[in-house]
Structure 1
């Protein structure tokens, strides 16, 4: 693991003379976004493995409700997410109507150790650029970003970035420009030079 991390950091410095480390979410910006090219980043350590999740369950339940809310009003809202230390439920919105839809408390109850646990969490509304509808449409496109490069490994939506993320094990400037030309600010690239495409046996 340590050796792989060293090689990855060396690879980053070969690709970018001055990578930008973002300690909050563990990302390293290898190539920043420009007017005609998308951002490329890599994650040397998965911050999910470093966090404590004590007391998060009410926020997980509230997140599921907020997700359903975003799916119900996909043109007004964007995918929600949880911030850590301390926990906060962020409810992004893209329209004035969405701001009103994102603000109400998220309440409910669940069972734990034979007890009913009630919760009521006030979301933190936050303006976003890309809606749930736009990101979902991009993810479901048949001839979408996955077809743009042989190095493509997978794709998903990263709510905290408010972007679709194309995962690759190799990239060039032509790919960055092509993605920006076709998808604009809807997408970013996560680069893992040592990752391999999954193969079915």
Structure 2
């Protein structure tokens, strides 16, 4: 089954991730190059939050100052990327299901045991890598853009519903819910002054 998982990973990457790479990269370049004016004042933003839409991670991305450090009421702009605006339609669970069926068919694998009473394929029984591939794609894009722009900005990836925790984009690390962000950054040698509320 490992080999099939790998083939589905490759098909998913080729079909859904790579076509979005340029749009995501260009967006992150604009964010890290300060194209977006997040605030009216000239306060330098050192920590940013990158949010993905929880139910469809690569349909929309939002970047804004991290509110652990910056006052919410001073934000005047949020950077937004809607991939539909780049002629990239959202992919649904049905699209992923069809991709899985195609790979299974190409490899002559009988998946009838994984069909429900409506004939829908429950790919969670043998392939659960979708979110990992999507988050790795975003973290890899961030790292590549940081190298390209030489930006010192720190970034944290979060879902719109806050359910998936927080990822340190610079270190590919999931920050546990019970860890304070300030303490986490200090442990990595970053002392960032919080804005007075």
TM-score relative to the length of structure 1: 0.28
Task: Report the structure, 1 or 2, having the larger helix content.
Answer: 2
TM-score relative to the length of structure 2: 0.29
Greater relative CO (CA pairs within 8 A, separation 6+):
2
